[in-house]
Structure 1
Amino acid sequence: MENNMEENKALRSQNWFGKTGKDGFIYRAWMKNQGIPHDQFDGRPVIGICNTWSELTPCNAHFRDLAEAVKIGVYEAGGFPVEFPVMSLGETLIKPTAMLYRNLASMDVEESIRANPVDGVVLLCGCDKTTPSLVMGACSVDIPTLVISGGPMLKGHFKGKDIGTSDVWRFAEAYKLGQISQSEFVEAEACMARTQGHCAVMGTASTMATMVEALGLSLPNNASIPAADARRKVISQFSGRRIVEMVKENLTLSKILTREAFENAIMVNAAIGGSTNFVIHLLAIAGRIGVDLNIEDFDKFSQNIPLLANLQPSGEHFMEDLYYSGGLPAVIKEMREVLHNDALTVNGKTIGENCADAEVYNRNIVATMENPFKPNSGIAVVKGNLSPNGAVLKPSAATPELMVHRGKAVVFETIEDYHARIEDPNLDIDENSVMVLKNVGPKGYPGMAEVGNMGIPKKLLEKGVHDLVRISDGRMSGTGFGTVVLHVSPEAAAGGNLALVQNGDYISLDVPNRTLNLEVSDEELAERRKNWEAIDMNITRGYVNLYINHVEQAHLGADMDFLKGKSGSIVTRDSH
C-alpha cells in the first residue's frame, strides 16, 4: 500500500489517507467504521458527491437515487465515492426568498470541498438556486467538477390540457376573475406536480440545467432528460465513471469555464428562451472563476440569436418535449455557425464534437436559425437615468406592442404596499400605466425576490388587460412572462433613481433602442434626493446582516464582494 500511496501523491486525498503514523491512522480509522475496506484508501481518486437532497426542496427529493447511480459509476471506474450534504434551497418554501441564501450555500459548498479529502466532485443540483450556488462554490476551489441536474417533471394534465408551472400565473388570474373555483385550483396542483423533478417548462431550474450543459460542465443531454425517466439514472452513472477520468486528466473547472464557454452559454440561453435569472447567476459564476463578464455581454451575444426552442413560457411546449425532439444537443447543432464549437467540455470532447451527430426529430419543438419561432429572444439590457447600470427584460416573453411604451408611473414603495393597494378600486391605474415596485432588490428585500412580475389588478383583467409594463429592482420567476423590466441597478435601497420615482411621473421604455428613462429633470431628482431615506431593515446580526453589508448590485451578479475569485483547494495544516 505504501508504494502505491507514494505514486499517487498528486491526489489531494492522499494528504489525508496517504499519511503514515498517527494522522493517517485517524483519517482512515474513523472512515472504516462505515465498513469501508482498507484498499479504498490505496491511492484511488476520491470523488465527493455534493448532494442537495432535501424533503424541503421538493425538486431535489429524488437525489438519493441519483447519488447511488453516481456511486456505481465511480466504483466502476476505480474511484472511491463519498457523499456529503450541503445547504439545500427549495424555491417554493424558503422565506423571504431562496436568492437570499444562494451565496451562503455557495460558501458551504466551497468550504466543504476545500476542507475534505476529495479529488473531484459531482454536483447534484436541480432547484433554481442549488445549481448556481454549487457551481459558484466549486469554482472557488477549482478541482475537477461535473454537474448532474435533477431533471424536469413530466408535464401535467388538467381537464384535457397539458400544463406546467407557467400555468400557475394563468390559474391565478382565472381564480381572481372567478373562472375557476378553489376546489379546481387544488385539483390542478396535483395534476401539475405529478412526478419528481423541477419545473416542466423553461423556467429558472431548466435554464440552469441548460446553462451547465452549454458551459460544458455536464454530459450531453443532461438538461432535458425528465427526472422520472430511467435515463436520468444512466447519465448519473456515466457521470460517476467520467469524473474519475477527469481527476486523472486534471481537467479542472478553470480549463472548461473559458470566456468562450460563457459566450456560448449566453447564445444558447437566447435560443431556448431562458430565464432572466440566468444573467445574475452567470455573472456570479464568472466572478468566481475569474472570467471578465459584464451585463452588456448578455445583450451583445444574444441580440442576433432567435428563439429556436418552442418551450413555455416563451413558446408552447415542455422540457420533456425538447428531450424527445433531440435535446439540447439538437439546439446547439442548429447554432453551430455562431458558437465557439471548440470549447472543451467535461467529457474531454468539444461542444461541437458532442453535438455533431445530433438530430432534430420534431420541428415543432426545435426550429432552424433561418426559420425560427420568434426573431427576438435572449436578454435585452436597457439603460437610462432610471437604470444607469442596466436592467433586463426578456423580449420573447413580452408583449410586442409594449416594447416601446410611455406611461404614468403607479408606484409601490414595498411589496407590502403593493399587496395592500393593488386591488383597491380607487387605485389610479389603466392599460397605459407603468407599474413600479421599489425596495425588492438585493439589499432592499433583502435577497432580491421573484416579485417583479406583479399581478395585474382585477379591474383591468376584467377589461381584458393582461399585461402592463412593470419595472422593479427585483427578479421574476423563469416560469413568468410579460413586459417586465427587472434587476434595475442601482436598486432603490442603495439610493438608485428608482427610489425617487413618484406617482404620475412619466417613464419611457424603448427596448429596440435599449433605453429606460424617467422623464424627470436632474434638478428635480436632486431635490427629491434631499428628502430620501433608505428603508431601515432593522437587521443587526447573523448571515442576513453580513449579506446586506456585502452583497453587490444586480449588474455584478449579486455575489458578496469578498467571495470574488478563486482561492484554490490547498489545505496545509493537519488537525491532530
Structure 2
Amino acid sequence: MEINTIAISDVATMGSEGMKTSLVSREVIADSIELVALGHQLDALVTIVGCDKTIPAAAMAHARLNIPGVIVYSGSILPGEWRGSPVTVASVFEAVGAHAAGRLSDVDLAELEASACPGAGACGGQYTANTMAMALEFLGLSPLGSAGPPALDPRRERVAAEAGRLVLDVLADGRTPDRILTPGAFANAIAAGAATAGSTNLVLHLLALAREAGVPLELGDFDAISARTPVIADLMPHGRYTAVDLDRAGGSRLVASRLAEAGLLDTGQLTVTGRSLGEEAAGAREQPGQDVVVPVSRPLEPQGGLVVLHGNLAPEGCVVKVAGLSRLRHTGPARVFEREETAMSAVQSGGIAAGDVVVIRGEGPRGGPGMREMLGVTAALVGRGLGDRVALLTDGRFSGATRGLMAGHVAPEAAAGGPIGLLRDGDPVTFDVRERTLRVELTAAELAARTGEWRPLEDRYRTGVMAKYRALVGSASDGAVLTVPEKVRP
C-alpha cells in the first residue's frame, strides 16, 4: 500500500501567519501515519520524508506504533550559484535584509533569488532538514549514509530499493523501534547535531521523540553532550559547505567514523540494518583532500554548536546555537515586540540599533499558537550588518539557517506566564554563554510587581486544529508535545 500525508512548506510560509501551522503539522503528520498503520494493521512500513517536520513526525509515529520500519530521507537540494559562490535559500532571506538597508539592488536580489534553488530537495545547508535526517541515521532509524545522496542524484533509486529489501529483513527479525531508541541512541544523535553545528530544532524534535519512546531526555543532556563534542563539519550556515559537499567528502559515515575514533559515540547501539552504529561507521570512505569534515584532533571549534541557557528570563531554559560566534556575552536594552511582524517592520525600517536586544514574545507553542520560526527577522538583521552587533530572544523557534547570538525556545513562554512576558522596552538584558545564563537585570521583587500586567494578543483561533493545538500543547522545554488532559486519562 502507498499512502500519503500532508506537509507544510516552511519556505512558503516563512514570515507569515501560515508559519504557525508548521510545528502543528508535526503532530498531524505523526497522527496520520499512526492512524493509517493502526487502521490497516500494517506489519511494517517504509516512511519517505523530506523537509523539516515530516522527519521528526515520521520518527514519532514509528515510536508510537513500534512495528518494524525504515525511514528514508528524500535528499538535499543541489546548491545554487551566484557570482561564483554557492548559495542556498538562506542566502535569499539574508539578502532581503541587505536590500532593505540599501546594500543590494533590486536587480541583484532578483538574480540571487532566481539562482538559489535550482531544483528539488530540502534546504541545502546543515539546516533543520539535513540536521534531522542525520539525527535519524545516528539514532538508528535510518541506514547510516542513506540521507547523503541529493534529491536528484541517481543513487536515490538505489537507496529506495535497498530500503524496500531492508524492511523485509527488519520485519523477519522483529527489529522494532523500542530496540533501537535507547538513551545511548539519543546521545549519539545529539553528538551528531553538535559536531555538525546543526539546527536548534534538533532539541525540540528529539525531546518530543524521546517522550514518544519513553526515553528520559532533558535539556541539560544537550548542553552536556555538546560541551564534550567538538565541531568537525564546516557546514552552512556557520561554515562554507553545503550538504552536497558533505556527501562528496564522505557523508555522515565519515562524521560517525571521526566521532567513533575519538570515543564520542556509543558505537554498540543497534541500527535498523541489524548492525551496530560502530560497524556502520567502519564503512566510511573519505574523499582524498576533502576539508569539509576535519579530524577531532583539529576541530573547527572545541565545543559543539548547541548551548542551553537558564536564568530569570528562562527558568525552564532556552537554546542558542553558538557555532561561529565570537561574541559570547552581550548586554543591551530590550526592544520588545508582541509578534514577529512588528519586529520585522522595525528591522526593515532601521528601527533596531547596534547593541539592542530584540525580544519577540507571544510566539511560543501555546501563544502562537504553533511556535513560528524567526528566520525572516534573524536573516534580515544579518543582511543589514547587525548580526554580530545585536542579540535576540524569543519564545518562538529559529530556522536551522539562523545565525548570530539568538536564544529561542525561551520557557516558560509568555502565554504560559513566563517572565519573558514581563519585559519592557529598555530593560537591560544580558546573554552570557560561558556562564549559561540569560537574565534581565531586575530584582525578583521588580519582576513580581509586573506579574499580571502583561496581556496576550487576542486569540485569533477559537475553533479548529489551531485551537485544539493551543489547548493541548506543552512547553518547548519538553519538546512542545501534545498532552492528554488528566480528566480524560484512563
Tell me if both proteins adopt one fold, taking TM over 0.5 as the criterion.
yes
Alpha-carbon displacement from aligned partner over 1:322-370 (angstroms, at most 9, x marks no partner) = 1111110111111111210000001100000011131322441011111
Distance 2:126 2:175 in 1: 30
Tell me, yes or no, if structure 1 residue 479 matches structure 2 residue 401.
Answer: yes
1:418 and 1:556 mapped to 2: Cα distance? Answer: 27
Corresponding residue of 1:84: 3
Distance 1:304 1:355 in 2: 20
Equivalent-residue separation in structure 1 for 2:194 and 2:89 (angstroms):
20
What is residue 572 of structure 1 aligned with on the other side? none
Confirm or deny that 1:406 pairs with 2:334. no
Q: Residue in 2 aligned with 1:10?
A: none
What's 2:115 paired with? Answer: 191
Write the distance in 1 (CA, Å) between the matches of 2:401 and 2:330: 24
Residue 377 of structure 1, aligned match among 256, 279, 304? 304
Structure 1 residues 464 and 542, CA, compared in 2 at 3 Å: closer, same or farther? closer
CA gap of 1:563–1:274, structure 2 versus 1, over 3 A, is farther
SS in 2 for 1:396: coil
* 8 Å contact from structure 2 (residues 98, 380) kept in 1: no
Cα pair 1:144 1:250 within 8 Å, conserved: yes
- Bigger CA drift: 168-177 or 188-197? 168-177
Alpha carbons of structure 1 residues 383 and 370: separation in structure 2 relative to 1, 3 Å: same
The aligned counterpart of 2:462 is 540
For 1:109 and 1:189, the matched residues in 2 are separated by 35
Deviation of 1:560 (Å): 0.2
The answer to whether the aligner puts 1:340 opposite 2:266 as a matched pair is yes
Structure with greater contact order relative to length (CA < 8 Å, sep ≥ 6): 2
1:279 is aligned to 2:203 = yes
SS in structure 1 opposite 2:323? helix
For 1:513, the aligned partner's letter is E
Q: Secondary structure of 2:62's match?
A: helix
TM-score by length of 2: 0.93
The answer to whether the aligner puts 1:304 opposite 2:228 as a matched pair is: yes
Which stretches in structure 2 are left out of the alignment for 5+ residues?
A: none
Contact 2:34 2:65 in 1 (8 A): yes
Any idea what SS the aligned residue of 1:85 has? coil
Q: C-alpha distance in 2, partners of 1:485/1:276?
A: 10
Following superposition, the deviation at residue 174 of structure 1 comes to 2.5
Decide which moves more: 237-246 or 522-531: 522-531
Identify if the C-alpha distance between structure 1 residues 520 and 156 changes in structure 2 by more than 3 Å, giving closer, same or farther. Answer: same
1:418 matches 2:343: yes
The equivalent of 1:445 in structure 2 is 368
How does 1:80-159 map onto structure 2 within 5 Å?
82-94=1-13, 95-97=18-20, 98-159=22-83
**Residue 146 and residue 457 in structure 1: after superposition, are their counterparts in 2 closer, same or farther (change >3 A)?**
closer
* TM-score normalized by the length of structure 1: 0.80
Give the Cα–Cα distance (whole angstroms) in 1 for the partners of residues 82 and 247 of structure 2: 22
Please report how far the alpha carbon of residue 137 of structure 1 lies from its aligned counterpart in structure 2 after TM superposition: 1.6
Whether the 8 Å contact between 2:234 and 2:240 is mirrored in structure 1 is: yes
- What do residues 362-392 of structure 1 show as CA deviations (whole Å, max 9, x unaligned)? 4410111110112232310000010000000
Distance 1:269 1:440 in 2: 25
Match of 1:436 among 329, 340, 359: 359
How big is the shift at 1:449? 0.5
Residues in 2 aligned to 1:154 and 1:554: alpha-carbon distance in whole angstroms: 32
Tell me, in whole angstroms, the C-alpha distance in 2 between the residues paired with 1:453 and 1:431. Answer: 18
Contact 2:194–2:230 (CA<8 Å) still a contact in 1? yes
CA contact (8 A) 2:127 2:401 kept: yes
Paired with 1:182 and 1:379, the residues of 2 have a C-alpha distance of 36
Match of 2:212 in 1: 288
The residue number in structure 1 matching 2:145 is 221
CA contact (8 A) 2:79 2:86 kept: yes
User: 1:34 aligns to what?
Assistant: none
Q: Write the distance in 2 (CA, Å) between the matches of 1:101 and 1:218.
A: 21
1:349 to 272, 275, 280: 275
Contact 2:232/2:296 (8 A) holds in 1: yes
Aligned 8 A contact 1:267 1:378 in 2: no
In the other structure, the counterpart of 1:492 is 414
Does 2:396 match 1:396?
no
CA contact (8 A) 1:493 1:535 kept: no
Match of 1:179 in 2: 103
- Taking the aligned partners of 2:51 and 2:10, their CA distance within structure 1 comes to 7
Equivalent position SS for 1:92: helix
Per the alignment, residue 512 of structure 1 pairs with 434
Query: What is the distance in 1 between the residues matched to 2:202 and 2:386?
Result: 31
> Cα gap change, 1:83/1:444 in structure 2, threshold over 3 Å: closer, same or farther?
same
Give the drift of 1:420. 4.1
Structure 1 residue aligned with 2:134: 210
- Unmatched tracts of structure 1, length 5 or more: 1-81, 568-576
Cα distance, 1:268 vs structure 2: 1.0
From 249, 258, 264, give the equivalent of 1:325.
249
Percent identity between the aligned chains?
A: 33
Deviation at 1:92, TM superposition (A): 2.0
Q: How far apart, in 1, do the equivalents of 2:192 and 2:131 lie?
A: 10
| Cα pair 2:92 2:116 within 8 Å, conserved | no
Retained in 1: the 8 A contact 2:378–2:402?
A: no
Taking a change above 3 Å as real, the CA distance of residues 465 and 124 of structure 1, as seen in their structure-2 partners, is closer
